[in-house]
Chains A and B, each alone.
Chain A
Amino acid sequence: MLTRFYRLSPTFYRYSPQNDRLPLGKGNPTPYLSNMNTPTNQPALQVSGLNVNYGSFKAVQQVSFEVQPGEIFGLLGPNGAGKTSTLSAVEGLIKPASGTIRVAGYDNKQHPLHARACMGVQLQATSFQPELTITGIIRLFAGIYGVSLSNDRILSVLEDIKLQDAAAKRFGQLSGGQQQRVSLVIATIHQPQLVLLDEPTTGLDPQSRRQLWERIEAMRDRGHGILLTTHSMEEAESVCDRIAIIDHGQIITIGTPQTIVDDNRELDAVIRASRKGRITLEDVFIGLTGTAVRE
C-alpha cells in the first residue's frame, strides 16, 4: 500500500561499458549519476507490445513503435482511440498491463526516475500552482530537473519566447499561446532526449500555431525526439516526419504522412471520404477509422 507513495524512492545507477545499468552499492559515497553517459545510439522512445486495461476494457492493445532522436512522430486517432492512454503509460502516470517502454534506453518500470529525467512533457491541460509567477514556475521545474538557473538565465529564457515582460505574471494571466510557450520551455528546460506533446496547438490561433510548429521543428533540429498527439491532420502533415494512426487501442498504420496517403489512396472507404477530388491525410484517416463520431 505504501508503495504508492514510496515506489519512486530513489535508487541510483551507474553506466557500465556493456550498456547495463547497475545499482550503486550502499557504500558508494557518490549517489549521483555524474559518471553515467546517456547512450546516443538508443531511440528516444521504444514502445513494444504495450497493453493498457481499465478493468475489462482494453484501451491499448499490443502497441509498438519507436521515436528516433531528431524525429517528430505523430500519434493520431479519434477520441477514445488510445492516444492519451499510450501517452500516460509512457509518462508513467498509468501502469500498463504488459509491454515495455524505454526512454533513451531506460526502462520506465525499472528506472522510472531516469526515464522521467530523460523526457519533457507538455500535458493536454497543463496547470501550475496559480499563486506562482512564471519565474517561480520555471525555477520550480528547473529545481526538480536539477538545472540551476540564474535570474539572468531565466530572463534570457523568457526573452527567447518573447515573454520577458511576463516574468512576474501568473500562469493564468497569460493567453493560450503564451501558456503553451511557457509549457514548452518547462518541458525542455533540461534538454531531454524525448519530448511528449499532447495536443499542443489545441485552441491556438493560426499565428500562435505556426509559431509553435517552428519551435517544435527547432527542437527536432537540436536532436530531440518528439512524440506529438494531435487531431489536426494539417499539423500532422506539416510537422511530423512519421505518424501512426491508432484506433480501438491498436495501431492501424505507421509511416511518413505521404507514404500513408499513397498506400491507402485506392481503398474504397478512403475514396468515399474524399471531399476535394484529391486524397488527403484526413481522407485516409476517416477512411481507416470510420465516419462515426466518437464520444
Chain B
Amino acid sequence: MSTTISTPLPVTETRPLALPSMGSVYSALLRADLTTQWRNRRSSLMVILIPVIILISWKGLVDKFGGAFALSNCITVGLTAVGLMGYSNSVARDRDKGIFQRLRVAPASNWAIMASRLTVQLIMITIMTIVIFIVGYKFDNITMPASGYIIGFFAALIGGAVYLSLGQVIVGLIKNPETVNATTRLVYFAFIMIGMFGEFGMLGKEIGNITKYSPYGTVKAIVSGGLTPTIWTTDTTTALMVTLGYTAVFTFLGVRWFRWSTR
C-alpha cells in the first residue's frame, strides 16, 4: 500500500496516514542491498572464486575420495566466506557509517533491515552452490543424482545459516569494522586449514575428531550426506543436529550481543 505524491499537501490538512506495507519496506531495502552487492561484485566474485579454484585443483583427488567429498568441502569453504566475510563485514561497515541508524529512524523495522541483508547472503549462497555444482561437472566430471543436488543444495542453505550466525556473533562482539575484517579473515583461514587438514587426518586423530564436530566438519558432513542421500548415516543425522545446535546458539548470542550503533 503506498501513496503517490503529486503536489505537497499542507501538513496541517487532515489526510490519511498509511503505514507502508511490510512488503514495500522489505522490497525497497532488498533492492538497495542487492544494488550494493552488485556494485561490490568483485569482492563477491572472490567468495566464489576460492572454492572454485580449490575444486579445479582437486581433480586428482576426486577419484580417490569421491565427488561428494570434493563438492562438500568446496561448498563449505564458500559458505564460510559468505557468512564470515561477506555478511559480517557489510554489517560492520554499515553500522560504523551510521547507515543502520538512518534506516531505523524511518519506519523500517529491525527485522526487515536484517531480513533484507540475510536474503542477499542466501542469494549469494545459492549462486555459489550452483556454480560449484557446474564447475564440478564441467572440470572434474562429478555427477550426482538429481535428488543429491537438491538435498545437497538445501543442506548448503542450512550450513550457510551456521556461518551467517557466526558472523553475527563476531559483529556482536566486535564494533570496529577493521577488527571485524581481520577477525573474520583469521577465523576463515583457521576453519579452512584446520578443517581440511583435519579431514585428511594430517593433524592427528584427536584434532580429526574435534574437526568432525566443528562447524566446518558438521556442515561438510551434511552437505556431503545431502549430495549422496542413499548413504545418509546416523553420523550425518548427528552432524545435522549439531549444525542446527550451532546455529541456534550462535543466533542467540549474536542477537543478544549485537548493537545497532558503535557509539
Q: Are A149 and B12 in contact, CB atoms less than 8 angstroms apart?
A: no
Please tell me if A117 contacts chain B, counting CB pairs below 8 Å.
Answer: yes
- Which of B16, B99, B104 is within 8 Å of A129, CB to CB? B99
Q: Are B20 and A145 in contact, CB atoms less than 8 angstroms apart?
A: yes
Interface string of B106-128 (1 = CB under 8 A from A): 11111100100000000000000
Determine the main DSSP class of A at the interface with B. loop
Given A8-B111, A40-B13, A69-B12, are A32 and B19 neighbors across the interface (CB < 8 Å)? Answer: yes
Hey, which chain B residues are within 8 Å of A39, CB to CB? 14
| Additional A-B contact list (5), CB under 8 Å, known A92-B105, A123-B105, A129-B36 | A7-B110, A35-B16, A93-B101, A144-B24, A144-B29
Q: Are A117 and B107 in contact, CB atoms less than 8 angstroms apart?
A: yes
Which residues of B from 77 to 106 have beta carbons under 8 Å from A?
94, 97-99, 101-106
Given A129-B36, A136-B35, are A10 and B22 neighbors across the interface (CB < 8 Å)? Answer: yes
Report which A residues bind B (CB closer than 8 A).
1-2, 4-10, 12, 31-40, 69-70, 91-93, 113-114, 116-119, 121, 123, 125-132, 136, 139-149, 153, 189, 191-193, 222-224
How far apart sit A147 and B258, CA to CA, in the bound complex (Å)? 31
Please tell me if B146 contacts chain A, counting CB pairs below 8 Å.
Answer: no
How far apart sit A31 and B19, CA to CA, in the bound complex (Å)? 9
13 A-B pairs in the complex with CB atoms less than 8 angstroms apart: A32-B21, A35-B16, A113-B109, A121-B106, A129-B35, A131-B36, A131-B40, A136-B35, A143-B28, A146-B18, A147-B2, A148-B4, A191-B8
Given A93-B105, A129-B32, are A1 and B20 neighbors across the interface (CB < 8 Å)? Answer: no
B contact residues, range = 35 or more
How far apart sit A126 and B1, CA to CA, in the bound complex (Å)? 28
Given A1-B256, A117-B107, A136-B32, are A123 and B20 neighbors across the interface (CB < 8 Å)? Answer: no
Given A127-B98, A131-B36, are A144 and B10 neighbors across the interface (CB < 8 Å)? Answer: no
Which residues of B from 207 to 263 have beta carbons under 8 Å from A?
252, 255-256, 258, 260-261
- Which of A144, A149, A193 is within 8 Å of B108, CB to CB? A144
Q: Are A5 and B8 in contact, CB atoms less than 8 angstroms apart?
A: no
Q: Are B110 and A146 in contact, CB atoms less than 8 angstroms apart?
A: no
The total of interchain contacts (Cβ-Cβ below 8 angstroms) comes to 172
- Which of B8, B108, B110 is within 8 Å of A6, CB to CB? B110
Q: Are A153 and B1 in contact, CB atoms less than 8 angstroms apart?
A: no
Hey, which chain A residues are within 8 Å of B21, CB to CB? 31-32, 146
Hey, which chain B residues are within 8 Å of A34, CB to CB? 1, 16, 18
Q: Are B17 and A117 in contact, CB atoms less than 8 angstroms apart?
A: yes
Specify the chain B residue showing the minimal Cβ separation from A105: B17
Hey, which chain A residues are within 8 Å of B104, CB to CB? 92-93
Please tell me if B25 contacts chain A, counting CB pairs below 8 Å.
Answer: yes
How far apart sit A178 and B5, CA to CA, in the bound complex (Å)? 23
Q: Are B14 and A146 in contact, CB atoms less than 8 angstroms apart?
A: no
- Which of B3, B107, B256 is within 8 Å of A144, CB to CB? B107
Hey, which chain B residues are within 8 Å of A148, CB to CB? 2-5
Hey, which chain B residues are within 8 Å of A1, CB to CB? 252, 255-256
Q: Are A116 and B107 in contact, CB atoms less than 8 angstroms apart?
A: yes
Hey, which chain A residues are within 8 Å of B9, CB to CB? 191
Specify the chain B residue showing the minimal Cβ separation from A192: B11
Q: Are A123 and B102 in contact, CB atoms less than 8 angstroms apart?
A: yes
Give chain B nearest CB distance to A67 CB in angstroms.
12
Please tell me if B42 contacts chain A, counting CB pairs below 8 Å.
Answer: no
Given A32-B21, A126-B102, are A139 and B31 neighbors across the interface (CB < 8 Å)? Answer: yes
